[in-house]
Amino acid sequence: MIKKSFIVFLGLFVSLNVYAQKAVYQLPVASKTDITNPTFFYMLPQTAFKVDVVITKTTNIKGLYADFAEKLLGITNYCKENSTSFELKNITLTPFSVPDETLQFVAELSTIQMKNNFLQTLYTNSTTTGAQTFSTLEQNNADILPDFFKNFADVVMQQTYETYTETKIIDGVVTQVPITQTKVTTKTLAQQAQAAVDFIEKIRDDRYAILSFAQETTLEKEAFEYLVDQLNELEKKYLDLFTGITVLEDFHETFVIYPNSEHALQFVCSVTPTLGFSTSMSKTSAYNYYLKCTPKVSTDLRAGFNEAFAAKQKKNMGYRLRKAVPVSVTLVRGDTEEALLGIFPIYQYGFLETLPANLDAFEIWKWGYIY
C-alpha cells in the first residue's frame, strides 16, 4: 500500500515538471515547430562603443612682413608660407549596450507561467531602451586669430617735403627764393616693415631703461612687472608680423562602432595630415586607426568545456544567455600599438549559454531586450 502511494506521488511530480517545461527557440524557427502556448520574444545584448575623437588642426600663417624678417631683423626661423595640418590628439571609448539582432529568441510559456500572469509581470518590469544618436559634438568655427595680427594696419600715407629755389624779380632785383613743397606719398611695404622694426627697437630701448632703473621715479614691484610684461607683449605682437603665427584648433567627432569578435582589428577612423578626420580607410596604413580587442579569459579552454557540456544537453531547453567578458582594448595606428584604452566588459566575446528549462521565475528582462 505504501509502495503504491509512492508511485502515484512520483507520477504526479513528474507530470508537474512536464507541464513546467518551457521551450525557447532561436529565430528563425523551423516551420514544423509546434508552439501552442503564448510566447514572448527577446534579444540578447551586445556592446557598442561611443567613440569620442579629438583632432588638432595646426594652421601656420605667414606674417605681413615675413619677406623682410631675415633682412631687417636677422630672423631665419619664420613662417614662409601658409600651411595647415591635422593630427589625432585624443580618443575616448564609452561602452553601452544595444540589442543584438542576430540573437533573437522566442520563449513558449509554461502552464505555471500562464497561471501566474507571467507576461504581465514581464512587460511591467521590462524597460524600453530608446535609440541613441551621436553626431559631431563640437567644431570650433570661431575666429581665433589674435586681433592685433588680424587687424594690424599701418599708416600707409606719408608726407614728403621738396625744397628748391625759384628765381623772382623783386623790386627790380633778380632774387633766388627758396620754395618748400609738401607731397603726400604712399609707403612701400618695405618702408612699413622698416617702421615696424624702428618701433621694435624703441620698445627694447624703453624696456632696457626700465630694467636698468634709468628713470628718475622708483617703481613699485607690481608696476615694474606690469610695465615689463606689457612691453614684452607688445614686442611679441610686432615680431609676429615678421615671424608669422601658429593657430591650434581642436575638433571633436563622435560616432558609434560595434566590436566584432571575428576580426582581430576593428577599424575606427583615419586622420591624414592634409585632409584630417575621416570614417573611410586611408590608402596609407600609417594614417588608419584600429581597435585591437583581446579577451582576458581563456577562450580555448572555455570553448572546449562548452562543447562537451552542450553535447549532453537537449535542444531547445531554456533561456539563452550571454555574459559580457573582460576585454583589453588597444589603439593601433597602422601596424603599431599606440596605447591601451582600457579593459571593458563586451558581450560579443562571451559564450552563448543555455539555462535549465524549468526556471519559471527567472527574471529574463534583466538579461535581454523584451519585445
pLDDT tens-digit series, residues 164-190: 677 777 776 777 777 666 655 678 899
Determine the Cα–Cα distance for residues 54 and 39; give it in Å rounded to an integer: 47
Sheet of 288-295, strand order: 276-278, 265-272, 288-295, 325-333, 336-346
Give 330-361 pLDDT, tens digit per residue.
Answer: 999 999 999 999 999 999 999 888 888 778 78
% of the chain surpassing 90 pLDDT: 52
Determine the pLDDT at residue 356. 82
Determine the pLDDT at residue 338. 93
Residue 70 pLDDT > 90, yes or no?
Answer: yes
% of the chain surpassing 70 pLDDT: 79
Q: 260 versus 19: which is more confidently predicted? A: 260
The pair phi, psi for residue 121, each rounded to 5°, is -65, -40
Mean pLDDT of the chain: 82
| Residues 3 and 332 sit within 8 Å (Cβ to Cβ) | no
Determine the pLDDT at residue 7. 36
| Residues 351 and 310 sit within 8 Å (Cβ to Cβ) | no
Determine the Cα–Cα distance for residues 64 and 145; give it in Å rounded to an integer: 14
Give me the mean pLDDT over the 32-55 stretch: 92
- Supply the pTM of this predicted model: 0.72
| Residues 228 and 208 sit within 8 Å (Cβ to Cβ) | no
